[in-house]
Structure 1
Amino acid sequence: MAEPAVQFLLEKLSTLMVENVKLIKDVKHEIEYMRDELERMTAFLRVADAAEDNNPQLKVWVKQVRDVAHEAEDIIDEFMLHVPNTNGCCPDFVHRLIFCLKNLNSHYEIASQIQNINSRIKKIDEGHKRYDANLNVPNQGPSSSDEIDRRGDALLLEEDELVGIEHPKEEVVAWIVEGDSRLKVVAVVGMGGLGKTTLVKKVFDDDVVKKHFHNYAWITVSHSFKMGELLKDMIHQLFDQMKIPVPEAMSTMNRDRLKATIKDFLKQRRYLLVFDDVWSIEAWEAIKYVFPNEDQGSRVILTTRSMDVASSCSAETKGYVYELNPLSKEESWILFCQKAFHGNSCPEHLSDICENILRRCGGLPLAIVAISRVLSTKNESNVDDWRMLSDGLGSELEGNDQLESMSKILLLSFNYLPYYLKPCFMYLSSYPEDHSIEHNILVRQWIAEGFVKPKEGRSVEEVAQGYLNELVNRSLLRPLKTNDDGSVKISQIHDLYREIILLKSRDQNFVTTTTESDMVRVRRLSVHGSLGSSEVEKCGSRLCSLMLFNMVEPCSVSSILKLIKTSTMLKVLDLTGIHLEKFPKVIFELFHLKYLCLRNTGIKKLPGSIKKLQKLEMLDLKGTYVTELPVGILKLLNLRQLLVYHHVLDSYMPYNHIVGFKALKGIGCLKFLQKLCIIEISPGSCVLEEIGKMTELRRISITKLRTGDCVGFCSAITNLVKLCSLSVRAVEGDVLNFQYLTSPPPSLQRLYLEGELANFPHWIQSLRSLVKVYIRWSRLSDDPLQYIEDLPNLVHIEFLDAYIGEELCFKAGKFQKLKLLGLDKLESLKSVVIEEGSTPLLEKLIIQRCSLLQSVPVGIERLTNMKVLEFFDMPDEFISPLSPEKSREEYWKVEHIPKVYHIYWRNDGWEVYSLDGSLAHEESAKPGAAIVKTQGQRNWM
């Protein structure tokens, strides 16, 4: 993977050439030569990056290019460290430059270093020319025949390897043979190795399916398909099936004639065509015109790893998408025992080891079958052999011939990533096994590393979010938690894909973890658990990224600080959770630093020297005890995100549940800020006017707003036309009036209002993009539902002490997209009515501390999408009628809901009960307990 490294270097060289850095002639000439030579290499590199795994000689050449690009990047970074860009704003620039050059031993030393790099580039280029001429580098990466051969293995699985396939097969067969007569496309989507091909093959071979269609064909597409060969294969299958000779002139036909031949043949026939392994929408566009649509009940099935492909292809015919899921734990265990123990049960002394292996297989049938076959040859009495495979699965993937086929099938997903996604995906090898990946954090890290570049009409953050969506849609990231607007908030990488990119990272010196023995020439270091002094000495001085996870040894802190001191090239520094009381002074020497996270450390004060970090874009002090910022922060004009706050935790959220930072005079100079949390408004300050100047803000959280601030607040918010999330909390006891806001931000999606309101803000009714609204401690006398019931995209509502009326009525036909509803401490509320046709998509309802509520909501029995119903600290007389062992006077209304709990705060903890009075399983307790204990945190993250 050399192309991304070369691209980063080219951008850095271009920046150096256009910025106001005085370069003597020799330096400029050498840089121009380097740029020109590398630009010529990039086209070949894009092909070579995809093909290197299949060709050892090509792999060596790619490594040489990557290494020289990294070394050149380090030289440029070192140069810029001593010669900062001044943009012509400093009158004594020449004198400062001369002073810096003394430390560098003149420009001539830089020229000499770059000249040496250019000499190496020449030799590498000569090697490329010889290689390209003699070795015939493929144009499309891995050969299609190699890929098809490996995919063919999936068609040969025995019946005992098809655990869990019956239900998916029945569902897809029903889509194929039933329904109207229009042509429909059925897309089966999922990550590599899930069994998509196997499932569709069983559908294709089903007797009912065979009898239903006149003609059928199975076409393997693959990433590197050739259209002419694919069309000829279709013709052979269709004509041979009818025992008709293929057209004599077929060998000389162009693509258009081949397509016409197929289309003419299929007219007036009911056909079933399978296109296995479709990688792109473009591939589908090239194929789809051969299908006649004559209301014969024809069907087309495709398999793909991309949700974008599946959705796009099926949508055109109003067809179906079947998202294939991993096997359950039970199904995985059955399949594993069938192969590893020949159908026998697992010996007790191996159960823990086998469970760990299965956990890492993650329900992937391909992996379970491959690994269990390896284990089936091992002696069951030799526990060490089994444990070695469990603990060293990564090395087994690389060195075990029996696992080679599985590894290469998984590796296809990486090899066929666009060049710009490869470094983004490999970066995930920084994260520990089973780690939850927060997308907001990951996006900022990618940007700081230089992996993401803005596109015309889109910000760099929007481009990065698009990259994340691509990885999710390609089934390379598994969503764990989504936002209310449907976007993914937290995801996880499958263990085996993580092992694959760990191998790639190690091989390409991309990311190094402290769990590895080789820590030489480290560029990105991920510390898992601890870091010793001896490991620090191995790292070298070229570190550009340092991330910490699960720090367990206080003695590691000194090693971390020692490492930072020697790593002046750092761009990303994440010290989350490290035991610190003072801000480490060594950080102030990191000239290139763009991302700094000190989340959940013990830091209490931020020094004024923070102003030295001129390139800083992200400063995360969430969970620290910092409540004031130095004036020096105003010098950080590149800041995009500033997060400074901590939570006050309790069983239930107190009014002052979050502590932010005192507003700074002049903070409006940070014009590039997109996220600002949480800023406290001081009496008599001009901060609201300053906030109105930050027109790039997407999210802002404001606290300690006073009655007299309302006019200024409304004026400031009017200017923030890009705002998507607004949180505002009043000083306790003050009444807020937001009626002065005549033009609210049109793109506002999330709104959090905390504190007493004079009346419900009328402008909320105009927020067509609003998906979430929280109203807390507002004590409104008017029913708030009437003002938000027609919002077309509203998904999530939470009321906490927000309404003093006795009834809430969800009117018929309203709240058509609502999925989550929380009612907390509505102490006068006696009844909730859900009229027929209202809230049809509601999935989760939480009712807390509504002591006068007489029964569950009227109409709840009609809400067929309900999944979770939770009651917190509700009176016994409310809960008792819901028991299935009582009179069932109320139980019948909620018996269709899978999870119903009543929960109480007792003995400094939550006790969770099912409706039958039994103590619920611990896993059942987590959703309710998490909602209450971290309620405030969830709203501000």
Structure 2
Amino acid sequence: MGSLLRKVDALLQTQDWAPNIRQLREDVGSISTKLVKLSEIHDPPLTVNYWMKDARELSYDIEDCVDQFIHADADAKMTWDDEISGFCTRAEEVRERYDRFKLEYVLSRPAVLNTVANYRLGTVNSEHKSIVPAGMEGATNEVLGWLEPNGDDEKELQLRVVCILGGVGVGKSTLVQKLWRKLAEEFECRAFVQVGKTPDMRMILRSILSQVRPHQLPEVCLVPNLIQDIRKYLQDKRYFVIVDDIWSVSVWDALSRAFSEGYCCSRIITTTTIEDVALACCSYDPVHIFKMKALSADQSKELFSSTVFFSAKEHPQQFHNISDVITSKCGGLPLAITCIATLVASLPERIQQWEYVQNFLCNNLRTNSTSEEVMKQVLKLCYCCLPQCMKACLLYISVYPENYMILKEDLVKQWVVEGFICTIEGRDQIEVARNYFDEFLSLGLIQRIDINSKKKGLSYALHPCVFDFITCKSLEDNFITIIDYSQSTIPLTDRIRRLSLHFGGATYATTPATIGLSQVRSLAFMGLLNCMPSLEEFKLVRVVILHFRCDDGDIALTEICGLHLLRYLQVRCNATVLLPDQIQCLKYLETLEIMARVGPVPSGIVNVSSLLHVHLGDKTNSTQGPVESSSDDSSSLSFPPIFLRSFELLPPICIFSRLPMWIRQLHKLCVLKIVVTELQWDDISVLTELPELTSLSLYVLTRPIAKYRFFRKMEFPALEYFKFVCSVLLLGFQEEAMPNLRRLKIGFNAQRGWKYSYMLPGIQNLLNLKEVAAKIGADTDAEESDRRAAESAFKNAFSIHPCRPSLNVKRVGLVGGQYDSSSKHNWSQQKVFLEQDKFHSETQKEEPFVEQSKILGKMPNDTKHATTWIPQFCNTTEGLIPPTCEPDCDPPPLLTSLLCSTAEPLIPLTHGVDCDSGHTIMRAHPTAVLQRNHSPWKGPVYTSSRHSEKGQESASGSAAALVLCFAAIAATIASPFHRVFAFL
């Protein structure tokens, strides 16, 4: 009831309410207190369950009424007093039943121990995640011996299937996770999938195909086609596949048809609790069936002590006997021991708490209980000891199907929007929700699934026995109504508050017509698009999660405009999603996540002032063409969403020509992924004003101006991740820039004829850098030698880095979007003179490039005496010098071409980068005849800078030296008609 109380309190502060609303606030507060206390009872009587259900339904109805009142017109508000009076009557009835059922006596029973009030978050030692149950290393080595080829004979090179057999919670998933981390990188293709009791074969096969062939996602959804595609792709490839949690022989028979046999030394690992399934996996040859054994008594004690305390040696003597009894009741199951140990560690070190845990297990478990019985009681104890807000968070995970891959940040945001998170002083709700998630991870209720070994921990799933437990509990409490197409009977309640439709494996399924949808607060749908109900029926929905598939066509989400209470919308699909132009009418929308191809983005998306998180685009989609805004209003905002925390527009979505100035007002922004058509280095100063920015990804579609951008001291102080993708690499780092940067990703193109002896100047100043990744493409006319030079220079830049970060360099195609290589040497023809954007209010002078183009346009095609245009040339040299990365190299192609075939360059020129200003500079060779205005570069410096630090046009003093150089050249030419200059 926490969210309801907060809403009523907010209304009372803004309106002059009648006394009955204040009375209702008092009644609801009293009921909420009793509800929390009763929820802490283990095995409550039926009267308690009935009363708690009535209390929850009352709170839901009141909250729905309050939310509707906020959006109601004046006429509808006239009936508000009558509705409040009705709720007051219902609240009084609930309070009377509490007294009539004598529920206060239930709370006073001595058997009820207030373990919930004593539960402490984050008390498990920080090393608990690295604790490995004793005996796991031996099991790992034994299975590894079966997987590794022993010799080169034909039998060892054949496909081999190893099955791990064991009971629930014995550690099968932990073992295969260790094997995955050890072996996955050694195979050309690899995949990790979980099956479960009610598998969706389409999703499992699509997952396998997307993992073994990540750069070409499957377009078909039919099982036979998917099997054929997987088998064809794996033919003659060495692959490694883990299929976890198989429950039937028929499922394995279907999956096995996708794996081609051969002599490439491929390996498959399966896990199951059923011996017949294990035999089927291994072709009924038990040689490669590994039977997981429960831990011994000593191993169980060691795991328990290492989890509760820092080590078994620090185990206090007074707890020895109790801990022996507790571990014996866990039946040697690592999952049960970890869960109980983490629970005990979260309680105060008082003998009464430990005795309560011991008595609960002894009273509910027999001496020879099955693993399923042990896990059920352990989970029941653990759940009862959780605070009420954590119970709601745990039950909510059942909204996802069994073995569904869960992203932590998705779940955290959903918990917050649902109102489950109680604010703790000094910490925001997102931080508290993340702590709850980590606590579930410590308890073993949530497990990591390392599908991508390079991105460990990004995906999570519930343990199957945990999923069964919370599904039953959700149904019992009418917390979430789950409708699975595979169920023969569907238990329905009179009022559904949260609805989850698991239609993943169905080709046709419908929502039962007997259920009412008007009071649904949260909707989750997984399945085919034609099975999804109309969103117009969900008038009070706050959370919408749509994970669907369709054969073809675009998906228009026009129906969401009528969901006035919508706060969270997530869509994942294989189609193109069209967002409505009226999306700004969703004034309470906090999270908008479209993990799919996106049509034209409505400009009103940035006008939703309540937005906290925006994610548009599918990172796995690389074939979609450019996506732009449906209008031009997104660049200029009077009232931007100032509380925005993450703003991610993945390529090819580009709705900004330049970085909008209003971004500097987003002081809460932590994550920014954005694509811009053009980038001027001064635009980046907009981002340096964001104090909480920790992750930045910049994608630039066109080549920036010919000037380095050096990140200065203490710019981006909080940034930990930086990704920059552009056709050319013009970045440098001064001392103490990006002091907390840990991960750096770069994408650029190798250019024809460029030498890369000096790349990423100042990279050694990033003193916390741990990981570096680069994708190096090639310009359309670049050769293999150019690509090798770029790769070598990039690697050399990090060879002397003091932190020795890990380096991963890959070759890709063309990096960048709209760059035309045919004009790369003629910068005057390139689109570098930017049109004035609405969001740049200050007036700018005409770009020098425009004036330069005019002057060059006046030049005749035939040769002309040098002295007639030297003064004009001196005014147009800015921007003509293309960027490069080295202080000593051959002259740029453009300057080389300034001399015709009969001209002799009297002054050899080289070029490089000024580390202080970031300008591309030119200098004469030290042996040149003319030497004046020497710099640390040991030669006359000719700068190509267009603007000074104040942003005004400046004529560098060294530019005058360039004039003198060309004047001297002209004066020494014997025949001016034989020694001439010409432009390309």
Partner of 1:73: 60
Distance 1:117 1:141 in 2: 29
* Shift, 1:704, TM fit: 2.7
Matched, 1:33 2:27: yes
Paired positions, count: 594
1:277 is aligned with what amino acid?
A
Asked whether the 8 Å contact 1:10–1:38 carries over to 2, the reply is: no
Matched, 1:115 2:89: yes
Partner of 2:499: 525
Could you list the per-position Cα deviations for residues 375-409 of structure 1 after superposition, in whole angstroms to 9, with x for gaps in the alignment? xxxxxxxxxxxxxxxxxxxxxxxxxxxx4344212
- 1:795-806 maps to which residues of 2 (within 5 A)? 795-801=770-776, 804=790, 806=792
Partner of 1:715: 685
Matched, 1:556 2:556: no
Distance 2:305 2:745 in 1: 52
Label 1:444 to 1:800 Cα distance change in 2 as closer, same or farther (>3 A). Answer: same
Label 1:771 to 1:826 Cα distance change in 2 as closer, same or farther (>3 A). Answer: farther
Matched, 1:277 2:341: yes
- 1:122-133 maps to which residues of 2 (within 5 A)? 122-129=96-103, 131-132=105-106
Matched, 1:543 2:520: yes
2:583 is aligned with what amino acid?
I
* Shift, 1:164, TM fit: 6.1
- 1:336-485 maps to which residues of 2 (within 5 A)? 403-481=372-450
Distance 1:237 1:570 in 2: 47
Distance 1:204 1:619 in 2: 46
The gaps in structure 2 that reach 5 residues or longer are 119-133, 143-167, 175-292, 310-315, 325-337, 352-356, 359-364, 778-788, 815-984
* Shift, 1:13, TM fit: 3.3
2:9 is aligned with what amino acid?
S
Label 1:74 to 1:589 Cα distance change in 2 as closer, same or farther (>3 A). Answer: farther
Distance 1:276 1:442 in 2: 24
- 1:763-912 maps to which residues of 2 (within 5 A)? 763=734, 766-777=737-748, 779=750, 781-782=756-757, 784=759, 787-789=762-764, 791-801=766-776, 804=790, 806=792, 808-809=795-796, 814=801, 816=803, 818-819=805-806, 821-824=808-811
2:697 to 718, 724, 727: 727
Partner of 2:477: 508
1:489 to 450, 455, 458: 458
Distance 1:718 1:233 in 2: 55
Asked whether the 8 Å contact 1:34–1:118 carries over to 2, the reply is: no
Asked whether the 8 Å contact 1:641–1:674 carries over to 2, the reply is: yes
Distance 1:743 1:509 in 2: 53
Label 1:773 to 1:476 Cα distance change in 2 as closer, same or farther (>3 A). Answer: same
2:661 to 686, 689, 692: 689
2:21 is aligned with what amino acid?
V
Partner of 1:567: 538
Distance 1:765 1:219 in 2: 44
Asked whether the 8 Å contact 1:668–1:691 carries over to 2, the reply is: no
Label 1:809 to 1:200 Cα distance change in 2 as closer, same or farther (>3 A). Answer: farther
Higher alpha-carbon deviation: 812-821 or 490-499: 812-821
- 1:503-652 maps to which residues of 2 (within 5 A)? 503-515=472-484, 517-520=490-493, 521-529=495-503, 532-533=509-510, 535-549=512-526, 551-552=527-528, 554-557=529-532, 560-561=533-534, 564-577=535-548, 579=550, 581=554, 583-600=556-573, 602=575, 605-631=578-604, 633-646=605-618, 649=621
Matched, 1:706 2:678: yes
2:420 is aligned with what amino acid?
F
Asked whether the 8 Å contact 1:477–1:494 carries over to 2, the reply is: yes
Partner of 1:99: 75
Asked whether the 8 Å contact 2:764–2:800 carries over to 1, the reply is: no
1:527 is aligned with what amino acid?
L
The gaps in structure 1 that reach 5 residues or longer are 1-5, 85-95, 145-161, 171-190, 207-216, 224-229, 239-273, 288-302, 305-365, 373-402, 828-941
1:797 is aligned with what amino acid?
V
Is the partner of 2:774 in helix, strand or coil?
strand
Distance 1:60 1:667 in 2: 56
Is the partner of 2:564 in helix, strand or coil?
coil
* Shift, 1:684, TM fit: 7.3
Asked whether the 8 Å contact 2:509–2:531 carries over to 1, the reply is: yes
Could you list the per-position Cα deviations for residues 822-864 of structure 1 after superposition, in whole angstroms to 9, with x for gaps in the alignment? 332599xxxxxxxxxxxxxxxxxxxxxxxxxxxxxxxxxxxxx
Asked whether the 8 Å contact 1:794–1:815 carries over to 2, the reply is: no
Distance 2:468 2:669 in 1: 38
Distance 1:198 1:283 in 2: 27
* Shift, 1:77, TM fit: 1.5
Percent identity, aligned pairs only, is 18
Label 1:745 to 1:45 Cα distance change in 2 as closer, same or farther (>3 A). Answer: farther
Label 1:786 to 1:427 Cα distance change in 2 as closer, same or farther (>3 A). Answer: same
1:23 to 8, 17, 27: 17
Partner of 2:298: 202
Distance 2:432 2:301 in 1: 43
1:32 is aligned with what amino acid?
E
Asked whether the 8 Å contact 1:219–1:234 carries over to 2, the reply is: no
Label 1:737 to 1:694 Cα distance change in 2 as closer, same or farther (>3 A). Answer: farther
TM-score with structure 1 length normalisation? 0.55
1:7 to 2, 6, 16: 2
1:644 is aligned with what amino acid?
L
Distance 1:463 1:760 in 2: 37
* Shift, 1:702, TM fit: 2.1
Could you list the per-position Cα deviations for residues 657-685 of structure 1 after superposition, in whole angstroms to 9, with x for gaps in the alignment? 88788744217611111111228777877
Asked whether the 8 Å contact 1:61–1:128 carries over to 2, the reply is: no
1:10 is aligned with what amino acid?
L
Distance 1:646 1:809 in 2: 33
* Shift, 1:792, TM fit: 4.8
Asked whether the 8 Å contact 2:480–2:497 carries over to 1, the reply is: yes
* Shift, 1:198, TM fit: 6.4
* Shift, 1:723, TM fit: 0.7
2:524 is aligned with what amino acid?
M
Partner of 2:900: none
* Shift, 1:722, TM fit: 0.7
Partner of 2:113: 139
Distance 2:564 2:432 in 1: 26
Partner of 1:911: none
Partner of 2:40: 47
Distance 1:822 1:10 in 2: 54
Asked whether the 8 Å contact 1:741–1:763 carries over to 2, the reply is: yes
* Shift, 1:800, TM fit: 1.9
Distance 1:506 1:614 in 2: 32
Label 1:113 to 1:758 Cα distance change in 2 as closer, same or farther (>3 A). Answer: closer
2:466 is aligned with what amino acid?
Y
Distance 1:236 1:26 in 2: 54
Distance 1:23 1:39 in 2: 22
Structure holding more helix per residue: 1
TM-score with structure 2 length normalisation? 0.53
* Shift, 1:547, TM fit: 0.9
2:665 is aligned with what amino acid?
K
Distance 1:646 1:786 in 2: 33
Partner of 2:181: none
Asked whether the 8 Å contact 1:647–1:657 carries over to 2, the reply is: no
Distance 1:774 1:810 in 2: 14
Label 1:722 to 1:752 Cα distance change in 2 as closer, same or farther (>3 A). Answer: same
